[in-house]
Amino acid sequence: MVVGPGAVGGTVAARLAMSDHDVTVVARGAHLEAIRAAGLELRDPAGSTIVRLAAVATVAEVAWTDDDVVLLAVKSQETAGVLAQLALLAPTLPVVCVQNGVHNELEAMRYFERVYGVVVMCPTVHLQPGVVVAHSHPVPGILDIGRFPTGVDDTSGEVAAAFTTAGFDARSIDDVARWKWAKLITNLGNAVEAVCGPVTRAGRLGSMASDEGRAALAAADITYATAPEERQRRAGILELRPVDGGRRPGGSTWQSLRRGASTETDFINGEIVRLARLQGRAAPVNDLLQRLVRQLAAAGAPPGSVTETDVIGMLAQHQPGAATADVLSR
């Protein structure tokens, strides 16, 4: 069962179904209607495949069995609501968080005994109903899984094996939280590219956000996988290629703004802000990025609406609450 078949969840659902796993997806709105009407289209550098999936609108429509596994792939801001419903219907099932950040697993542990985290390294896109795009080929992504916060068991091994048969590179690892914290640092750049455009992710503002994130984790005595470890894990596996002649336009937050949807920035950059405040520190870069993404989403503004120069200027002037309208009107 995949709850949230968006860019990552949809790619995972499609690939699992293509490898003869029994998959049902919980979707909503136009995406649900498109999947029901014509199947889920998975596009990748090799072409396009239509995958027929059982699709429902809510978890209450699923006939749960003891053999089911829940792959939770909704955005973090939607996690609590889904978990509350699942806890009433299937309280003993394993919940696998195929999501960015570390909030989701902690929230799931309020309701479920068996909670698993997945380190998601899966460059995918979802911009139109019924279609997901995977840009890495021939391996669509890395999906390492472990019991949260530590440990492995039969379920983590079985899910890793299922991911592997579906074409992903997956391992059952005993330190998944350590790797998820490292991935959170990487994901701080999602807000940078959403606010200022993808090219700025590797620039000065992106470095400022990640440096601040690492400082917050160090102050909180949180250990995480090092950048060389992450690079080694990705090396020779993730190979980004064009699909339909186009490169991946932007990360998950960029895509959310493009679709006019809410974002999970409050649970990514906001996690660094929260940690810093708990240590009596400030995290002005991530605080500002969090505010700007929230304001852009509320205004229905497209990604890349604010220049990197403007954002750095706000930081220099100590104006984390500066009105986005001022820079949008320039």
Q: Which residue has the tokens 């750095």?
A: 312
Percentage of residues in the chain having pLDDT higher than 90: 96
CB-neighbour burial class of residue 242 (10 A; exposed 0-12, middle 13-18, buried 19+): exposed
List domains and CATH numbers for the chain. 2-174 (3.40.50.720), 179-328 (1.10.1040.10)
CB 144 within 8 A of CB 157: no
Residue 326: per-residue pLDDT: 53
Among 123-132, 162-171, 316-325, the range scoring the smallest mean pLDDT is 316-325
Q: What are phi and psi of 52, to 5 degrees?
A: -85, 125
For residue range 187-237, list pLDDT tens digits in order: 999 999 999 999 999 999 999 999 999 999 999 999 999 999 999 999 999
User: How are strands ordered across the β-sheet holding 124-128?
Assistant: 47-51, 40-44, 131-134, 124-128
Q: Over 60: is that where the pLDDT of 323 sits?
A: no
Q: Distance between CA atoms of 298 and 257, rounded to whole angstroms? A: 10
Q: Indicate if the pLDDT at residue 321 is higher than 90.
A: no
Q: How high is the pLDDT of residue 178?
A: 98
| pLDDT for the residue 319 | 56
pLDDT of residue 325: 47
Nearest to 141 by CA among 248, 41, 34: 248
Residues 6+ apart with CB under 8 A from 214: 185
44-71: average pLDDT: 97
Using alpha carbons, select from 14, 24, 9 the residue that is nearest to residue 48.
14
Beta bridge partners of 132: 42
Q: How sure is the predictor about 324, in pLDDT bands with cuts at 50, 70 and 90?
A: very low
Evaluate if residue 250 carries a pLDDT over 70. yes
Q: Tell me the average pLDDT across 255-270.
A: 97
Angle at 200 between CA 168 and CA 187, to 5 degrees: 40
Model pLDDT, residue 156: 98
Q: Which two tokens stand for residue 270?
A: 């906001």
Phi, psi of 181 (to 5 degrees): -65, -40
Spatial separation of the C-alpha atoms in residues 170 and 99, rounded to whole Å: 15
Averaged pLDDT, 91-110: 97
Averaged pLDDT, 103-126: 98
Report the alpha-carbon distance of residue 137 to residue 245 in Å, rounded. Answer: 14
Tell me the mean pLDDT in the region 167-192.
Answer: 98
Pairing of strands 124-128, 131-134: antiparallel
pLDDT at 329 (0 to 100): 46
Q: State the chain's mean pLDDT as an integer.
A: 95
Identify the bridge partners of residue 134 per DSSP, sorted by sequence position. Answer: 124
pLDDT, mean of residues 19-26: 98
Tell me: pLDDT of 33 over 90. yes
